[in-house]
Amino acid sequence: MLKSMTGFGRGEYIDSSHRIVVEIKAVNHRYNEIVIRMPKILGSLEDKVRRNIASTILRGRVDAFITVDEYGEKKRAVRVDKELAMAYHNAMRELAGLLDMPATDNIYHLSKYPDVLKVEDVSEDVETLWPKLSAAIEVALVNLMKMREAEGSNIEHDLLERVDKLYSYIAAVEERAPQILIEYREKLLHRMRELLAQISAEPDETRLLQETAIFADRTNFTEEIVRLKSHLGQFQSAIKSPDAVGRKLDFIVQEINRETNTIASKANDSTIANIVVEIKSEIEKVREQIQNIE
């Protein structure tokens, strides 16, 4: 089944201590580019997040947005700046000596000096958040892939209809091919008769056959038709593949376009030229669609 490169998925994990929300947006891109935006506290988990997403999304530009809310009481710790406390203590003793006053150290008074005591939040081990974050990512990816597969199904239906149209145009080209040679022979015979009438002579049948054979060889596009049908068959098979086939389909379309151009140049016929215009129009629509396929 085809998968579109465009989609959006949201996942959420909630328990008594955390609420983690993951939003993943994917759009068209030639390669697999993953951009992650999340709190600095989760920085050490970025590689895990990237691998998790890359294992599911093989191609496209992916933007992942992660937010974390903490519930309950935060753990805090009081840190003592020992060097600063000693510096304050020594400075007070020195000042007391200069003023000839008794040095009366009071520990509670000393603790009120700037930055002697610091209150810090105690961060939990980030690795303990990974199972929660991974669960939210999984839900977001499942929702994203549902959207990608739904759009991919619509694209697949459209592409198969266009392939059927291309087959019908090829059938019209094949039907027209024998008539090209017949019309050329008639035009050549008419022209020869016009020229030979001036000397009361009849066209040389052998020469007429030779010229017709040369024209037939020059305008023969049977091989191109065979290859064109083969490419369309490969295109249909690739569409049904469970793998990421966007690049493969793009290559096949290039080959289809190449064979079509060759047929147009060889045929030297206005009717086939008009059919080729229709074929190229369908090819362009196909090309536009597969730009969105993973």
**Band of pLDDT at residue 172, cut at 50, 70 and 90:** very high
What mean pLDDT comes out for the span 87-115? 76
Number of continuous H segments (helices) and E segments (strands) in the chain? 8, 6
pLDDT of residue 234: 94
State yes or no: pLDDT of 149 exceeds 80. yes
Please tell me which residue, 284 or 83, carries the higher pLDDT value.
284
SS3 88: helix
pLDDT of residue 121: 59
The 10s digit of each residue's pLDDT in 25-82 is 999 988 899 999 999 888 899 999 999 999 999 989 999 999 998 876 666 677 788 8
Q: What is the DSSP letter of 73?
A: P
For the chain, how far is it from start to end, CA to CA, in angstroms?
A: 11
Q: What is the DSSP letter of 160?
A: H
- The backbone torsions φ and ψ at residue 104, rounded to the nearest 5 degrees and listed phi first, read -110, 100
Please tell me which residue, 23 or 94, carries the higher pLDDT value.
23
pTM: 0.69
**Band of pLDDT at residue 18, cut at 50, 70 and 90:** confident
Please tell me which residue, 189 or 129, carries the higher pLDDT value.
129
**H-helix or E-strand spanning residue 57:** none
pLDDT of residue 286: 94
Q: What is the DSSP letter of 125?
A: P
- Lookup result for tokens 């580019």: 33
What mean pLDDT comes out for the span 169-196? 75
**Residues paired with 36 in a beta bridge:** 64
What mean pLDDT comes out for the span 227-232? 94
Quick check: 19 and 132 in contact, CB under 8 A? no
State yes or no: pLDDT of 190 exceeds 80. no
Give the mean pLDDT of the chain: 85
Quick check: 39 and 64 in contact, CB under 8 A? no
Closest CA to 61 of 4, 142, 130: 4
What mean pLDDT comes out for the span 250-271? 89
**H-helix or E-strand spanning residue 84:** helix 82-99
Closest CA to 172 of 74, 30, 43, 267: 267
pLDDT of residue 148: 94
